[in-house]
Structure 1
Amino acid sequence: MSTEVAEAGRAEAVRQVGRPADRFDAPEKVTGRAKYAAEFPYPDLAYAALVHSTVARGRITALDAGAARAVRGVIEVLTHENAPKMRPLSRLNLGSFVKGTNVDYLGTDQVHWNGQPIAVVVAETPEAARHAASLVRVTYEELPAKLDFAAEEPHAVPQKGNAIMRSAADKGDAHAALAAAPVKVDLRFTTPPQNHNAIEPHATTAFWQGDRLTVHDTTQSIAFLRKHLAMRFGVPERNVRVLAPFVGGGFGGKGMVWAGTLLAVLAARATGRPVRLALTRESVYHTVGGRTPTVQRVALGADRDGRLTALIHTSVARSGGMPGQVTAASRHLYAAETVHLRQSLVDLDLLPPTAMRAPGEAIGTFALEAAVDELAWELGVDPIELRMRNEPERDPLTGRAFSHRMLREAYALGAERFGWRERDPRPGAMRDGRWLVGMGVATAYHPSLIMPAAATVRLGADGTVLVRCGLHEIGVGAATAQAQIAADALGVPLESVRVEVGDSDLPAGPMAGGSAQTASAAAGVLAACDKLKRQVLALAGPPLRGRKPEEVQARDGGLHVGGSGMTYAEILAGAGRDHVEAAVKAGWARFLARTARDGRRWVRAASGAQFCEVRVDADTGEVRVSRWLGVFDVGRVVNAKTAASQLRGGIVMGIGLALSEQTLVDPRTGRVVNPSLAEYHVPVHADIPRIDVHYLDDPDPTTPLGLLGVGEVGITGVAAAVANAVRHATGRRVLDLPITLDKLL
């Protein structure tokens, strides 16, 4: 094929990818036709409510459910004394990967945290279930509990790492280099625990027919949940069907299997009725993990030109669940001569933490990027210039190449668009009436991962395309993105493509986590499309007969060579076929081998530059974010509209991390004292300015379509950019999140 034809083919291949296409699911959502986990009707449906423990650690010595059973409409009260037993988890089963905790719910009289579910009431109505649950009386033998994170910090132990999530690194003697550095900063940061507050609280509707189970669930991991339920309830995996066509927000909290799901399925089995268990907002706080608190130390040493001679980043987080990669960004962002990274954990008698949007990176970049900003103040150097002086050509720890890295370009574009040159570098020098004005920057960084994904693609004789993949629609436009990809791969109009998602009976898709779903599914869809085109080509007559696949272009609803070709309808009609279908399987062995191979060759990540302007009331210390710009290197963007929305959403969540969000735990009892949106403060519309988002849209050559992921990079660096802007406005360096009035007065 000539160079001209090849170039034309490449240009043609991106005609849908990159467009701001409207989401396929928009009409269903805005008209209310979209059904969520707690909305699917079943005949004879019963409702369940949880009873939560009121002690942090101990043993149940008595449980009186008499008053609860006497409530009209109550069907059953399940406790550790009468509930069917669930089977233990096996480490050899991939379903154990998504366990939220190790607790054997209703299988023991042991209590492991304040709020642990210890009974389930099943009734004819949700009101009766909730009322009866409030009447269950429990007495305990209380045991000593470790509840105070700050008090337990001295007892932290090293976090175990693995090939994908490393917890320690050394390059040279960073402590000696720090001691000898002519300019240095050594800071201690803290971040609080935080909880998930998705628009849709967790909910499950479960229905048994003999040993066959159907579950509607608010899950981000359909395939793993299916394996987990099959293992826990002792049925073949093929007998379990998990449905999640729509999920009302998922930021990690719906990736694991929590008590609500398991106990809904248990209650359905015990009662022989379909059972719905929709968690209250408070129950989400008591049964679903959140973000771990941390204590972090970042120490930086530099010569007088600002070249880093030492970078030390250590963290203490909570054990259990997913504490996250707190020091991950420090491995890759700066060309320090010496590096020392350590992550440690403490055990507490609280609900284990879990993934929460950029689990370690969101809070780790707060400490790292605030410390870099403070070093810029010590040196009297512009904070962007300091970062550029230390921008590495290769990975600082391993010397491996970056698969894609355009931070210099992101900062240059951001500085120009934000008006960075207008910033007066003196602290407190910029003012607008009573408001002190500050500008801050920080680097965004999140690793890129590709997971196994299966897919089938069916091409009809009428030119329509059906893509089937067990993806998760958690609010990101997943189906629309895959339709755009398939439309380009097969050369058909976008409106000709339909995508089925959200069902475990579909080919197994990837978990919606790690900013990996779009790229992972794209790999499966593209492979299936390529296989399908080969099948179609084998059926074609002249002028395509005998042509090799690489000689043929998919465009205009068919296959073409130069100026001639055949439509799919013509090819299938000539072959007497009404459709062709191609499928690809997800291979975990291939995934592990590829991940190991790629890890030896390069470092792959999305990155960006966050620009923030704040206004701080000089009298009250009130902080308002007044302007925001994010410029990101996320590889190729599939859908310009949904990608920008994802990046903005991450920034909004990061502003909450910086200024308001914290879960308050009573260190005497282990009880969450602000388990509702009335007391746990997330940003509202009035808190958020216009957020300008730009991306470089330059594909990474090592990934399917050049994708790097946009779901989580948007939140990284946000808290640091806010803190750095506050430092510029007030001269005060706030080291403890959230940045509240008392820390500035």
Structure 2
Amino acid sequence: MFGFGKSDTNALTMDKPHPDSLLDTGAQDVIGKPIDRIDGPLKVSGRATYAAEYDIPNLAYGFLVRATVGSGKVVDINADAVRGLPGVIDVITDYKTFIRNPGQGGDRKKPQQGVDDVAYFGEPIAIVVADSYEAARDAAQQLTVEYEEKDGRYDFAAYRDEHDKPPEGVMPPYTGTGDPDAAFDAAAIKIDATYTTPSQNSAAMEPHASIALWQDDELHLYGAYQMLSTDRIQLAKALGMKPDKVRIVARFVGGGFGSKLGIAPESVAAAVAAKQIGRPVKCAMARQQVFDATVRRSNTEQRVRLGADTDGKLSMLGHNCLVSNLPEEGFFEPCGQATQFLYAAPNITITHDIVRLDWLLAASMRAPGEAVGMIALECAMDELAEAVGIDPIELRKRNEPTEHPIDHIPFSTRQLVPCMDRGAALFGWSKRQAKPASDRRGEWLYGMGMAASARSNMLQKSSAKVSIDGQGHATVETDMTDIGTGTYTILAQITAEILGLPIADVTVKLGDTAFPPAAGSGGSFGAGSSGTSVYLACEALRGQIAEKMGVATDALTLKDGRAIGDNRSVPLAELVGDGIEATGQVAPGKQEKETLQSSYGAHFCEVAVNAVTGEVRIKRMLGVFAGGRILNAKTARSQILGGVTFGIGAALSEELVHDPRNGKVVNRDLAEYHVPVNADIPQIDVEFLSERDIHANPMHAKGLGELGISGAGAAVANAIYNATGVRARDFPLTLDKLLDGLPAV
């Protein structure tokens, strides 16, 4: 270890715009470039260690036991009957199965130990621990449980009229302006349509897994988690410990999409089991357990009302959303998140109400709110364009706001119209046939659709430490995670640009609560928040280097590992001595309230629908986006590709089915829950418009990860309508919902 000398802390609260950025003045020229992921070789060679792969000596294996009733009480678990089976170490029932937290849907201040009441079918109620995974699984399958079953609420349609207003979440559940009902009644042209979307599962490639081991009174947990600094607090609360006695490591995460924002059942189970048997315990959830017992995106019923004059100018916009969740849970799917600011209307009403069901917990899934809310809104806008008799892009232009329609604050940046114009030119939108079902080629009906995209930008509290050692090598340390988004590479690029180092001379260490606490991966705020903390640390290091050079900071140039100033060029290794370090800290401030910050885009889709079978084939898709500074062109494009694929799944195939008799998830694996596969996905073209958002952070970058999904499903649905003339509003748009309305062969 190097004995680092001076250490600074550079803290920033975003209370004012930052028009100048060090990323514009750096000489290394790596920011924005399509640099390959620096962790890529580890992943493709199998050397990247995921949650279930850590080599821990003397490991025992746990397998979760789940409830087989939808509502009731656990009367007896016949643990003794399986404790004597070969390889079985113990059966443990006295642990809290799920810690509901703000990231996942609620908060319990006094964690309950053990399960008495069953909240939903599949809820974990015990863990069997054995010397091998197979022995634990076999014993868990033989374990018998006695229940006192109760009548439950399992059918959304049956209880849809019994709902309540949730507490405030990521947005107020009720918001609006003007007199929407009167405006709708008076409108010359009206759209009043209801769209439904089903429950969905995040279906990340890596199932949830945890390895727990105790060192004296400290817990070390290797897991698959997105937000370690808050996960640590949640896990400590569950176990009645102080957070500084818990260390979580998640260096590589095989996808999360929201399902790994908070701690999941296996982490607490593994921790309690490891403590009880006195040896490390691994609990890796089977795919069916992930579907049964983590979280889902809520199903939705969304009524959208649009009132307009004969020119298509909106006088009223209404978005009334019914969602579902467990009793007493506060989280709701904020379907109207983008509806608040996307279009100008003097009269707006947006509501969210929760139907209480005994289903699996509903919580955040990629682009909570916009992913499903923009399906409804953007399909309704397509319907309005047809009713008015104008092009869908022209309709959106006529309703472009100059400020937030409800809060009356300025937009930090807004390039929705340029995104639509550029996309239309690239896609050949002018060749679209306005009349539905008018482009027939043999058995196939062709059509084009488009939709706007918007995703609110957020900044979260985050910190990072950056050091330069005696060899001139920089190291970044933060508990930020990389869930496949490219965080390792992006943070290395920021460091390299500001400190003037080759990428090879930067090491990024992530995913360990031993490092400074970061925002974590979620809400598309990861790169902007953790990146800014790295930026600030590097800014402080530049100050230290300038001081050692004896020059003003603005007279210092850093490039290729050398400091240049005052007609001198000195290797960094000579300047820093035994080493220097600095910590950067960022927190949100007045800018998030004084401006509306969002990324924007426009999706374009062409489909072919078989006139005989109703089969839908997506021929091509294009998206044009404006998301502030693009930090890495390759990883940014990759994020959009993933988001668009997510949108295609929501439009055509993804549906989590609940048994109305007990709430059980029926299709609980990747054979029955149909995510898009390679054959379903067409060529997807992505283009980014040049943009800098000085209100977002000193890097001028904004979130991208969830922008790609927002509106993508609506573009597909609108293309299907243009091809067939069938306006299906119950998603996913499987062929059975199209067949009856297809034009005659």
Which one of 17, 31, 34 corresponds to residue 31 of structure 2? 17
**Which of residues 262, 272, 281 is equivalent to 1:266?**
272
Alignment partner for residue 523 of structure 2, among 508, 514, 517? 514
Query: Of 549, 552, 557, which residue of structure 1 is paired with 2:561?
Result: 557
1:672-711 maps to which residues of 2 (within 5 A)? 672-702=665-695, 703-711=697-705
1:614 pairs, out of 607, 611, 622, with 607
Shift of 1:461: 3.2
> Corresponding residue for 1:581?
581
**Residue 308 of structure 1 pairs with residue 308 of structure 2:** no
How many angstroms does 1:97 deviate by? Answer: 5.2
Q: Which residue of 2 aligns with 1:3?
A: none
> Which of residues 194, 197, 200 is equivalent to 1:191?
197
- State how far apart, in whole Å, the 1-side matches of 2:340 and 2:615 are: 35
How far apart, CA to CA, are the structure 1 residues paired with 2:213 and 2:690? 45
- In structure 1, C-alpha distance between the alignment counterparts of 2:462 and 2:640, rounded to whole Å: 24
Do the aligned partners of residues 130 and 275 (structure 1) sit closer, same or farther apart at CA in structure 2, a change above 3 Å counting?
same
SS in 2 for 1:550: helix
| Aligned partner of residue 332 in structure 1, secondary structure | coil
Secondary structure of 1:677 counterpart = coil
- 2:368 corresponds in structure 1 to 359
Counterpart code for 2:561: G
Cα distance in 2, alignment partners of residues 8 and 640 from structure 1: 19
Residues 321 and 353 in structure 1, CA contact (< 8 A), matched pair in contact too = no
The equivalences for 1:561-640 within 5 A come to: 561=565, 564-572=568-576, 577-585=577-585, 590-591=587-588, 594=589, 597-640=590-633
Show structure 2 runs of 5+ residues with no match: 1-19, 740-745
Question: In the aligned structure 2, how far is the partner of 1:379 from the partner of 1:174?
Answer: 20
Structure 2 letter corresponding to 1:161: E
- Structure 1 residue 203 corresponds to structure 2 residue 212: no
**Contact 1:96 1:228 (8 Å CA) reproduced:** no
Contact 2:21 2:698 in 1 (8 A): no
Contact 1:456/1:583 (<8 A) preserved = yes
Query: Superposition pairs for residues 126-145 of structure 1, below 5 Å?
Result: 126-145=133-152
Can you list the C-alpha shifts for 1:401-441, whole angstroms capped at 9, x where unaligned?
Answer: 11011111111110011000111111101122211001000
Residue 236 of structure 1 deviates from its aligned partner by 2.8
Answer whether contact 2:196 2:300 (CA < 8 A) is retained.
Answer: yes
In structure 2, distance between residues paired with 1:268 and 1:686: 44
Amino acid at match of 1:727: Y
Distance of aligned partners of 1:658 and 1:98 in 2 relative to their CA distance in 1, 3 Å threshold: closer
Is this contact kept in 2: 1:616–1:622, CA < 8 A?
yes
Counterpart for residue 6 of structure 2: none
Contact 1:9 1:553 survives alignment (8 Å): no
Match of 2:166 in 1: 159
Q: Map 1:277-316 onto structure 2 (within 5 A).
A: 277-316=283-322
User: Quick one: distance in 1 between partners of 2:292 and 2:275?
Assistant: 24
| Letter of the 1:420 counterpart | W
Counterpart in the other structure of 2:251: 245
SS at match of 1:706: coil
Give yes or no for the alignment of 1:727 onto 2:721: yes
**Closer, same or farther: CA 9–427 of 1 in aligned 2, 3 Å:** closer
Q: Classify 1:358/1:9 alpha carbon distance in 2 versus 1 (closer, same or farther; 3 Å).
A: closer
Matched, 1:532 2:526: no
Letter of the structure 2 residue corresponding to residue 506 of structure 1 = F
Alpha-carbon offset, residue 63 of structure 1: 2.0
Shift of 1:365: 0.1
For residue 338 of structure 2, give the secondary structure of its aligned residue in structure 1. Answer: helix
Which has the larger displacement, 698-707 or 356-365?
698-707
Residues 471 and 512 in structure 1, CA contact (< 8 A), matched pair in contact too: yes
Greater per-residue helix proportion: 1
Alpha-carbon offset, residue 42 of structure 1: 1.6
Describe the SS at the equivalent of 1:652. helix
Deviations 1:101-156 (A, max 9, x none): 75967523211111111111000000000000011111211111111112111011
CA deviations on 1:149-207 (whole Å, 9 max, x unpaired) are 12111011122225x52222221111111111111110011100011211110000000
2-structure distance, mates of 1:625, 1:222: 38
Query: Structure 2 matches for 1:396-415, cutoff 5 A?
Result: 396-415=405-424
Query: Which residue does the alignment assign to 1:174?
Result: 180
Q: Report Cα offsets for 1:306-334 as digits up to 9, x if no partner.
A: 10011011101113364232101110110
Q: Residues 346 and 339 (structure 1 numbering): CA distance in 2 closer, same or farther, change over 3 Å?
A: same
Q: Which amino acid aligns with 1:467?
A: V
Q: Distance in 2 between matches of 1:258 and 1:88?
A: 6
User: RCO greater where, 1 or 2, for CA within 8 Å and sep 6 or more?
Assistant: 2
What RMSD over aligned residues (CA atoms) do the two structures have, in Å? 2.0
Partner-residue secondary structure (3-state), 1:642? helix
Matched AA of 1:551? A
Gaps of 5+ in 1: 1-5
Partner of residue 472 from structure 1, selected from 446, 469, 481: 481
- Larger CA deviation: 671-680 vs 166-175: 166-175
Deviation at 1:649, TM superposition (A): 0.3
> What SS does structure 2 have at the residue aligned with 1:346?
strand
Cα deviation code 1:598-636 (max 9, x no counterpart):
243110011100001111000111111111001011111
Partner of 2:16: none
Secondary structure, aligned partner of 2:607 = strand
Q: Whole-Å Cα distance in 2 between the matches of residues 119 and 156 of structure 1?
A: 32
Task: Evaluate the alpha carbon distance shift between residue 372 and residue 520 of structure 1 in structure 2; reply closer, same or farther with a 3 A threshold.
Answer: same
Report the secondary structure of 1:367's partner residue. Answer: helix
Residue 221 of structure 1: aligned partner: 227
Contact 1:100 1:289 in 2 (8 A): no
Q: Does the CA contact (< 8 Å) of 1:612 and 1:722 recur in 2?
A: yes
Counterpart in the other structure of 1:490 = 499
Kept after mapping to 2: 8 A contact 1:536/1:571? yes
Could you say what secondary structure the match of 1:154 adopts? coil
Cα contact 2:535–2:584 (8 A) shared by 1: no
The aligned counterpart of 1:503 is 512
The alignment status of 1:740 with 2:734, answered yes or no, reads yes
Q: Which of these residues, 383, 388, 391, is aligned with residue 397 of structure 2?
A: 388
Moved more, 352-361 or 101-110: 101-110
The amino acid across from 2:259 in the alignment is: G
State the distance in 2 between where 1:461 and 1:65 align.
59
Q: Distance in 1 between matches of 2:39 and 2:205?
A: 17
Match of 2:92 among 61, 78, 103: 78
Q: Against the structure 1 CA distance between its residues 41 and 697, is the aligned structure 2 distance closer, same or farther, given a 3 Å change threshold?
A: same
Distance apart, 1:273 and its partner CA: 1.2
Amino acid at match of 1:668: R
Quick one: distance in 1 between partners of 2:378 and 2:163? 24
Selected match of 1:350 from 348, 353, 359: 359
8 Å CA contact 1:113, 1:670 repeated in 2: yes
CA displacement 1:5-34 (0-9 Å, x = unmatched) = x99993545711100001111111111111
> Are the aligned partners of 1:105 and 1:117 in contact in 2 as well (CA < 8 Å)?
no
What amino acid maps onto 2:127 in structure 1? Answer: V
**Structure 1 vs Structure 2: percent identity of aligned residues?**
42
**How does the TM-score come out when normalised to structure 2?**
0.93
Local SS of the residue matching 1:454? strand
Aligned-partner residue type, residue 127 of structure 1: E
- How many aligned residue pairs are there? 715
- Aligned equivalent of 2:3: none
Q: Is the 8 A contact 1:105 1:118 kept in 2?
A: no
Structure 1 equivalent of residue 378 of structure 2: 369
Cα distance change on mapping 1:99 and 1:622 into 2, 3 Å: closer
Q: Structure 1 residues 485, 155: CA separation in 2 closer, same or farther (over 3 Å shift)?
A: same
Which range moves more in the overlay, 655-664 or 315-324? 315-324
Letter in 2 for 1:673: V
Q: Deviations over 1:452-506 (max 9, x none)?
A: 1111111123221111111111111101001101111111222211111111101
Aligned-pair distance for 1:567?
3.2
Alpha carbons of 1:471 and 1:657: their partners in 2 closer, same or farther (altered >3 Å)? same
